[in-house]
């Protein structure tokens, strides 16, 4: 007792801080972006371990089955670990990176000092607290084509600016994209840069003039070797979707449409837009086709439905909103975004939305919201050519229409005179499990009347 009392008498009273460190190692998860997508390919990283980031800073770019998106941070902190290399598949719900999160608000907190004698429990360790189950979701946004990637303190650039299509060409040619000098804006690597780099690499290099060639027997050219290439993410999605679609019993219905009156109306509308101005510079034929399709669906709603199952029994899900999908050929492949609620939009609004989707599709920046929720699809191959086509139905729909190339052909008028008419060939596929041929024929005839007599369609427009 005496020795204990003596120690207390001569030892100064010490204290410790009860404020624990607020740093936490947070696994940053790949969020579910819908449409049944379970994995995404990591295209490029914008960060490396040890890099400091702030909220909304870009972390990486990923390519899903349908679109290229950029993932941004939800925290301020320091990158501790990257879970994937570029080209690997990241799984939904699994960590992408570990972020050492630093809550700066903790710096303002007053530290409390408590005498050792008054402490009732030991202080927590000053090491970082690791949080095991943090389900913070990644924020997705379309990747900006104008955005540059900042170089880190070591002077190296982690990501080379290029579209997924250009990166795919580099993989096919076995070229390191970092070694290609980009000629696009902000150093972006273009397709031509990769092809020129490939040609330069294949060209022989000689430091002195080659001696005159001696005549030699001509050798047979080497035969080209077969090469197995992996499917792109969009091709994988198309493979899966079309495989499911082939389980649907299709039937095909074709008809032709006289475009003469619609051509005159479109010209008048575009002349007025040019003179008066408007949200779009001009209107193509597609907005008329789309609005005519929506008006026809009001009379034949079964073609806007989908087949579903409840307790193993087939059912029809009737959908009152017309989200009309538009098949587009893009540098990334075939994609089908859709215009939401066409019935509530004016002709000019449909034209503006179509223009927006086309621009984003060409840039590979369509988001998941633009790609999901379609109820019927319209595919226009007329820009390339062809008359009739057998379009394949998406498994979440029951009908699709394919439009061919319009041509001026001889036809009889009402007085049985042969006259030139602009003819558009159309092809319609229906799910024969729920749609019969007569319903499709009436639907097409209604759509045809709206296109051939657009004044009737204008009366119905909202």
215-219: average pLDDT: 58
Distance separating alpha carbons of residues 331 and 49, to the nearest angstrom: 33
450-459: average pLDDT: 91
| 4-8, 49-53, 433-437: least confidently modelled range | 4-8
The domains of the chain are located at 15-143, 246-460
pLDDT at 128 over 80: no
Q: What is the enclosing helix (H) or strand (E) of 369? A: helix 368-371
pLDDT at 105 over 50: no
Q: Which residues are catalytic?
A: 432, 436
- Report CA torsion sign: 370, 373, 375, 376: positive
Give the model's pLDDT for residue 210: 52
Q: Three-state DSSP class for 257?
A: strand
Percent of the chain scoring above 70 in pLDDT: 74
Distance separating alpha carbons of residues 49 and 154, to the nearest angstrom: 12
Tokens of 319: 């959908």
Q: What is the enclosing helix (H) or strand (E) of 443? A: helix 437-452
Give the model's pLDDT for residue 332: 79
- What are the pLDDT digits (tens) for 6-35? 444 445 445 444 444 445 788 888 887 665
Assign domain 246-460 to its CATH superfamily.
Chloramphenicol acetyltransferase-like domain (3.30.559.10)
267-292: average pLDDT: 92
Give the model's pLDDT for residue 416: 93
212-234: average pLDDT: 70
> Of how many residues is the chain composed?
462
pLDDT at 147 over 50: no
- What are the pLDDT digits (tens) for 291-321? 999 999 999 999 999 999 999 999 999 999 9
351-364: average pLDDT: 93
Give the model's pLDDT for residue 190: 80
90-104: average pLDDT: 83
pLDDT at 363 over 60: yes
The more confidently predicted of residues 354 and 236 is: 354
pLDDT at 134 over 80: no
Distance separating alpha carbons of residues 169 and 350, to the nearest angstrom: 35
| 15-143: CATH topology | OB fold (Dihydrolipoamide Acetyltransferase, E2P) (2.40.50)
Please compute, for residue 100, the number of CA atoms within 13 A of its CA located in the half-sphere on the CB side: 14
Percent of the chain scoring above 90 in pLDDT: 42
- What are the pLDDT digits (tens) for 375-433? 999 999 887 878 899 999 999 999 999 999 999 999 999 899 999 999 999 999 999 99
Average pLDDT across the chain, whole number: 79
Q: What is the enclosing helix (H) or strand (E) of 354? A: helix 347-363
Helices (H) and strands (E) in the chain, counts: 10, 22
Q: What is the enclosing helix (H) or strand (E) of 451? A: helix 437-452
| 127-136, 351-360, 384-393: least confidently modelled range | 127-136
Distance separating alpha carbons of residues 117 and 113, to the nearest angstrom: 12
Give the model's pLDDT for residue 281: 86
């Amino acid at each position: 007792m005496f020795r204990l009392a003596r120690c207390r008498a001569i030892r100064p009273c010490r204290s410790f801080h009860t404020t624990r460190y607020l740093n936490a190692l947070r696994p940053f998860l790949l969020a579910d972006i819908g449409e049944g997508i379970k994995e995404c390919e990591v295209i490029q990283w914008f960060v490396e371990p040890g890099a400091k980031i702030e909220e909304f800073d870009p972390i990486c770019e990923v390519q899903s089955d349908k679109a290229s998106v950029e993932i941004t941070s939800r925290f301020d902190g320091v990158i501790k670990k990257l879970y994937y290399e570029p080209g690997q598949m990241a799984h939904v719900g699994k960590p992408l990176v570990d972020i050492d999160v630093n809550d700066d608000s903790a710096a303002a907190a007053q530290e409390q000092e408590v005498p050792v004698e008054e402490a009732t429990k030991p202080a927590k360790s000053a090491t970082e607290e690791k949080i095991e189950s943090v389900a913070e979701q990644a924020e997705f946004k379309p990747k900006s084509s104008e955005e540059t990637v900042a170089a880190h303190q070591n002077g190296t650039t982690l990501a080379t600016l290029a579209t997924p299509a250009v990166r795919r060409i580099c993989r096919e040619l076995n070229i390191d994209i970092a070694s290609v000098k980009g000629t696009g804006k902000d150093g972006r690597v273009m397709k031509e840069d990769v092809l020129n780099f490939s040609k330069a690499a294949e060209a022989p290099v000689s430091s002195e003039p080659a001696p005159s060639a001696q005549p030699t027997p001509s050798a047979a050219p080497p035969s080209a070797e077969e090469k197995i290439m992996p499917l792109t993410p969009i091709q994988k999605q198309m493979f899966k979707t079309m495989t499911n679609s082939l389980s649907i019993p299709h039937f095909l219905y074709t008809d032709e449409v006289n475009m003469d009156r619609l051509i005159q109306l479109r010209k008048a509308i575009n002349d007025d837009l040019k003179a008066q101005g408007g949200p779009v510079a001009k209107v193509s034929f597609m907005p008329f086709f789309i609005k005519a399709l929506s008006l026809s669906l009001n009379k034949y709603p079964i073609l806007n439905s989908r087949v579903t199952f409840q307790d193993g029994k087939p059912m029809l899900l009737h959908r009152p909103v017309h989200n009309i999908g538009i098949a587009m050929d893009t540098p990334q492949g075939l994609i089908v975004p859709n215009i939401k609620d066409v019935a509530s939009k004016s002709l000019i609004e449909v034209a503006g939305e179509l223009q927006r989707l086309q621009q984003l599709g060409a840039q590979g920046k369509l988001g998941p919201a633009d790609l999901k929720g379609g109820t019927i699809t319209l595919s226009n191959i007329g820009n390339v050519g062809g008359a009739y086509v057998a379009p394949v139905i998406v498994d979440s729909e029951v009908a699709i229409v394919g439009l061919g190339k319009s041509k001026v052909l001889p036809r009889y008028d009402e007085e049985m005179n042969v006259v030139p008419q602009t003819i558009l060939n159309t092809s319609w596929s229906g799910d024969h499990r729920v749609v019969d041929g007569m319903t499709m024929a009436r639907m097409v005839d209604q759509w045809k009347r709206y296109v051939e007599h657009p004044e009737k369609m204008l009366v119905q427009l909202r």
